[in-house]
Structure 1
């Protein structure tokens, strides 16, 4: 079967990539005024072969991987619905091929793991079956182990970036300070090296840090602006025209009258969380909720995107800076360090959350509008060509991504830095922005087809509503 491929190339990368496209059996011609490459080929997958040819001409120098934890127990349960039975011995037992001894250290000071206020919160809430909320399950352990196996196949077996013998100088495993992300990191590392080898190595170190210093998720603990935005989203998104009507229908089915007690208002994010956890672990979704799954998904995604990236325009830029701007700054710092030949790990693993990945995807212009699944990953790869020039490629869920404004997944370091610069902030600037005056009024989300200039509703909160929203606003995931 004949195939015809059209590859759009940016002007800056076109000449470099074209030099790699003299692939035997393929006829190439370059249309200079459009920057378009045409290829005719027979009975081969041209895109994959060209991709492999490009990679064969480049040397991988570094990779930074942000990944969401695996499947977990829910953070919230749906009111007036029987809970799923998360029996501890069936759902939370350690999966043998992920288990080995490791030391958990403070990233900044090298001491013992800092205390986790989030874990204290989780352990106050026990589900049916005895499990705590927000804990990595056996399924989640397997999901992140399999992610580790995929990482091994690409970066050890294919590229030889790091040795198959564990070396603490070649890999930096960093997790947020929640047990589910720490356990997920353990499983990913097990997938890369194998638990048997890691048991023999005996010096495995994983890192975390105090929540006040953490930059791997939108951290409202010490950022008043972010906390207020999440608070406003939680208390007002459900009152947006269109959303409100669907919320009231759902509440009626659940036997809830939030007009009598506003703090009983159903949160679409909480409902989605319970549903997704049930379905992931083989539990049936309660029949009365099945007709609402699609609408819950839509508005839950809308809420989490609004709370962690704002809406279009200046607010989006500022919120993404606050949410993950320090992580983006770190990514570019590490890339530039590698380009300069500075010594450091070749593989960085960042175990984080859904709310970490969404702002990163938005900043790169590759967000698909969907909630990142359990164990989703973003890989930022740094390459060097034979001329000593450096290039960056981003993968999401194991697939090459073409960032906003570029015609190829392979871009120069300067292009990557330029594309992300408006979202990048160092610690000093982040602190300044966190103390900025919060807007008196917020634009409503732009994806709900509301009249232009519509504002986010702002109702008078009760003390109970305000306290619950504040508590949720300090969580790194699920709001």
Structure 2
């Protein structure tokens, strides 16, 4: 049976073990957002520009060249995780060239991504295929990751996403235990248990402070080629590919800017979008009093009634909180008599800004064509690889694929597969926003809403830095072939409950259709059983996504247009 053909959906009950961390994991596909970064744009008054630039330069790897090539940290990482950028991608140059420090991955972001890689390594040391003989007390280096997994890494054409996946790989396959490092350096220092490629930057900055120069780094802390060769068991380390735009699946906004421009404008033109976005004009006006750089800043797709770029606005709160920087730092309000009151006023806008941003993308991904354009190419790509993995022999390495991308990409994937907390319409978003006789967008100031008593947030959720969506191909014992393999989707370490569309007649998101009338996957019953998504189910989800979106051919080609320079970078500018 062709994996692309619609199939009848058969409800399956499996032990709840397969919902958690058990079962044989035979393939892994991970989409992740990049790590913490400096803000994408300067939003303050012009006379504070240099001051704020200097601050963010202190938070990113030193010598991050103005050319955007990433400086010493990027060069050190690239010794072990080579980067190959297709010439069709901005002439082989990163799209964020020349913007340092704005939009650049921070030291904190490098640490985040290495930690994410380390956590995934530990997960698959325990639950991956062919590891039953590994003693849990053994040195982790005895588990040669690349001997078991066929690792590939892909990235969008941004320095921050490329360095993020390099650091992910560093935590996954490049870590060194302290005993080996100490033996080489003949030291008894045990403060750090791990050192990585890239110059030992985490240790250096924690010890020396953010404002020191890289030239002061103790070179004995650098990981050598000899170390890395030992860690990966003699195999060539993994390369990072920024693929030809014609075959890249990660960034629809950069790949087909003209089409995406038209699709988003269709959403913006609706009566509902115009009405609700207009209600945010007072909030936008107050924000501009504090952040004048929002006035007249480029907006994707020709602008909306509220008149500002909400990704940039949300950026201000996220980036400063992450680095404990006051919201009013480097503005004209800093140091004034009413500074405390003004800081509190700006802080009170954080939740409404994030809520309105999340609502806007909820409206975007309510469009079947737009949602399919963003999410169908990557989902179809991994589905094909899953079918291939089923046919691999027991002795072959298994697929382990990393995709380094952006918040809007992750959000689109979650809407496409029907992540319950986003699409159910039963939480405090969805239906309330459209009920007649009630205020539109009620609860805007309420913030994150608990979903059915859990700690998972509702539709207002936004992917944080270093967020991950892992698609795990799980082999059920005593079953063979396609029917013996199921898909577990894990968001930031937690298995997801999915409510996907399985036919074109299904109600889409923001519907009033009760959950019990829809097909659920990843749902655990009182009897301890759960209903997992099979490969044919996954095929059906993708087929329906594309059918609702107007057909798979709509998303299969790349375009060159005069809009490319104007629009090509705007779709993920805040990601």
> CA separation of 1:246/1:102 partners in 2, compared to 1, >3 Å: closer, same or farther?
closer
Residue 378 of structure 1 is matched in structure 2 by 469
> CA separation of 1:285/1:409 partners in 2, compared to 1, >3 Å: closer, same or farther?
farther
**Alpha carbons 1:70, 1:144 under 8 Å: kept:** yes
Which digits, 9 at most, give the CA deviation of each residue in 1:232-254, with x for residues without a partner? Answer: 77899687331123222333455
- Match among 279, 294, 319 for residue 370 of structure 2: 319
> CA separation of 1:71/1:360 partners in 2, compared to 1, >3 Å: closer, same or farther?
same
- Match among 348, 356, 360 for residue 409 of structure 2: 356
Alignment of 1:77-156 (within 5 A): 77-80=42-45, 82=48, 84=52, 85-93=54-62, 94=73, 101-105=80-84, 115-116=89-90, 122-125=96-99, 131-156=100-125
- Match among 307, 320, 327 for residue 285 of structure 1: 327
Residue 447 of structure 1 is matched in structure 2 by none
Paired residue secondary structure (1:319)? helix
- 2:380 counterpart of 1:329: yes
- Match among 258, 265, 282 for residue 245 of structure 1: 282
C-alpha separation between the residues in 1 aligned to 2:369 and 2:260?
A: 10
**Alpha carbons 1:176, 1:208 under 8 Å: kept:** yes
Which digits, 9 at most, give the CA deviation of each residue in 1:7-56, with x for residues without a partner? Answer: xxx97212xx1xx4xxxxxxxxxxxxxxxxxxxxxxxxxxxxx5379764
**Alpha carbons 2:253, 2:568 under 8 Å: kept:** no
> CA separation of 1:284/1:468 partners in 2, compared to 1, >3 Å: closer, same or farther?
farther
Residue 158 of structure 1 is matched in structure 2 by 127
Paired residue secondary structure (1:391)? strand
C-alpha separation between the residues in 1 aligned to 2:327 and 2:266?
A: 29
**Alpha carbons 1:72, 1:137 under 8 Å: kept:** yes
C-alpha separation between the residues in 2 aligned to 1:54 and 1:144?
A: 23
C-alpha separation between the residues in 1 aligned to 2:10 and 2:81?
A: 48
- Match among 186, 198, 216 for residue 228 of structure 2: 198
C-alpha separation between the residues in 2 aligned to 1:80 and 1:194?
A: 43
C-alpha separation between the residues in 1 aligned to 2:414 and 2:294?
A: 37
- 2:158 counterpart of 1:178: yes
Residue 68 of structure 1 is matched in structure 2 by 33
Name whichever of 364-373 and 74-83 sits farther off: 74-83
> CA separation of 1:202/1:289 partners in 2, compared to 1, >3 Å: closer, same or farther?
farther
Point out where structure 1 has 5 or more consecutive residues left out of the alignment: 1-9, 21-49, 107-111, 126-130, 436-465
Residue 479 of structure 2 is matched in structure 1 by 387
Q: What RMSD, in angstroms, separates the aligned Cα atoms of the two structures?
A: 4.0
**Alpha carbons 1:68, 1:351 under 8 Å: kept:** yes
**Alpha carbons 1:391, 1:413 under 8 Å: kept:** yes
* Offset of residue 97 of structure 1: 11
* Offset of residue 363 of structure 1: 0.8
- 2:51 counterpart of 1:51: no
**Alpha carbons 2:35, 2:466 under 8 Å: kept:** yes
C-alpha separation between the residues in 2 aligned to 1:328 and 1:72?
A: 27
Which digits, 9 at most, give the CA deviation of each residue in 1:380-402, with x for residues without a partner? Answer: 11112222111111100110112
Point out where structure 2 has 5 or more consecutive residues left out of the alignment: 1-8, 63-72, 132-142, 177-226, 329-342, 423-457, 500-518, 524-529
**Alpha carbons 1:227, 1:474 under 8 Å: kept:** no
* Offset of residue 468 of structure 1: 12
C-alpha separation between the residues in 2 aligned to 1:232 and 1:281?
A: 38
* Offset of residue 293 of structure 1: 1.0
**Alpha carbons 2:115, 2:168 under 8 Å: kept:** yes
- Match among 259, 268, 275 for residue 310 of structure 2: 268
Residue 400 of structure 2 is matched in structure 1 by 347
C-alpha separation between the residues in 2 aligned to 1:113 and 1:165?
A: 31
C-alpha separation between the residues in 1 aligned to 2:82 and 2:148?
A: 12
- 2:543 counterpart of 1:421: yes
**Alpha carbons 1:322, 1:434 under 8 Å: kept:** no
* Offset of residue 219 of structure 1: 2.4
C-alpha separation between the residues in 2 aligned to 1:401 and 1:348?
A: 20
* Offset of residue 137 of structure 1: 0.8
**Alpha carbons 2:258, 2:564 under 8 Å: kept:** no
* Offset of residue 103 of structure 1: 2.0
Which digits, 9 at most, give the CA deviation of each residue in 1:405-457, with x for residues without a partner? Answer: 2134622222222233222489744147999xxxxxxxxxxxxxxxxxxxxxx
Paired residue secondary structure (1:348)? strand
C-alpha separation between the residues in 2 aligned to 1:348 and 1:328?
A: 13
Name whichever of 282-291 and 141-150 sits farther off: 282-291
- TM-score, structure 1 normalization: 0.69
C-alpha separation between the residues in 2 aligned to 1:379 and 1:468?
A: 31
> CA separation of 1:53/1:398 partners in 2, compared to 1, >3 Å: closer, same or farther?
closer
> CA separation of 1:189/1:114 partners in 2, compared to 1, >3 Å: closer, same or farther?
farther
* Offset of residue 76 of structure 1: 1.7
- 2:574 counterpart of 1:478: yes
- 2:352 counterpart of 1:295: yes
**Alpha carbons 2:30, 2:471 under 8 Å: kept:** yes
Residue 6 of structure 1 is matched in structure 2 by none
C-alpha separation between the residues in 2 aligned to 1:88 and 1:252?
A: 26
C-alpha separation between the residues in 2 aligned to 1:180 and 1:87?
A: 14
**Alpha carbons 1:104, 1:113 under 8 Å: kept:** no
C-alpha separation between the residues in 1 aligned to 2:348 and 2:567?
A: 30
